[in-house]
Amino acid sequence: MARIRDVWINWFEGEENGYNVCPFHEWTSDDRIEVLDQAEIIQVTERLFDYVANRIEDLPDELLDQVYQKSTLRKNMTRVTLDYCFIMYDGNRVLAVDTLGYKTPMRKSRLTTKQERLTKEIMDEANEKSLDLSFAPPPKEYHILSPHPKYMLGLTRKERQLKQLLFMALDQLYTSAHTAEMRYWYTEWNPAGYEEIQLHEKEEVWQRLYDEVKHGWTALHYELCQKMIKGQPFFEKIWNMHHEEEVK
């Protein structure tokens, strides 16, 4: 089996969508970087890579058996053996995974540019057989709290975070707002639609608002998010956290 040493890792825990596992150029000084003393590299098919990167579901037993206790973490000048930690490569993409002892990919990390390139060189030379799923997984279901990748395409780390916060606020609005309040928020987003929106009920107004804000990220998105979360401690805490990261 192929292995790589001294791998910098920036774990993103509990992320079911690969777009939230930030690439190296989006890492920040606040991220907690760990070092894998050594890591097992597994060649996988594109289908298995997508399954692991974009879901938190059980990994194939064959994969788990191959990587069992073969990767170690460097911690306080000692080595800690990890039960199911590995780096997977599908011929193009690279991703580090750790299950925290379970059977699901609980933590995921990209690699530094240099170590990603080294992983590709090692595996291209090894020419190993690719592991695959033994079944065809059902299509993944996306929703407002787990947005489709196309709605995050081209956004920066901060923009993705704030857009997900906006979606959280919209989801809460759907369950808590009356028709008049829903019309108010749509007008905040699109003042020109004020008269027309008075003819629509809550469900239609919310759907129209969601359909319009789910694409891209602009100053209007930013302003709407800022206004919607005002006075809500939980949402404000998330908002402030992202802005503190930016200042640092």
Q: Is the dihedral of CA 149, 154, 159, 161 positive or negative?
A: positive
Radius of gyration of the chain (CA): 21
Q: Collapse the DSSP code of 225 into the 3-class scheme (helix H, G, I; strand E, B; otherwise coil) and give the result.
A: helix
What confidence tens digit (pLDDT) does each residue in 108-122 have? 999 999 999 999 999
In the structure encoding, which two tokens stand for residue 210, read together?
A: 């969601």
What mean pLDDT do residues 151-155 have? 96
Report the mean per-residue pLDDT for the chain.
94
The pTM score is 0.90
d(CA 39, CA 42): 10
d(CA 248, CA 241): 11
What confidence tens digit (pLDDT) does each residue in 184-220 have? 999 999 999 989 999 899 999 999 999 999 999 999 9
For 63, half-sphere exposure in the C-beta direction (CA atoms, 13 angstrom radius) is 30
d(CA 225, CA 247): 19
Q: What band does 77 get if pLDDT is binned at 50, 70 and 90?
A: confident
Listing DSSP states for 82-94 in one string gives EEEEEEEE-SS-E
**The pLDDT value given to residue 68:** 97
Question: Do 200 and 59 contact (CB within 8 A), yes or no?
Answer: no
Q: How many other C-beta atoms are found inside a 10 Å radius of the C-beta of residue 167?
A: 20
Q: What band does 242 get if pLDDT is binned at 50, 70 and 90?
A: confident
Residue 162 carries which DSSP code? Answer: H
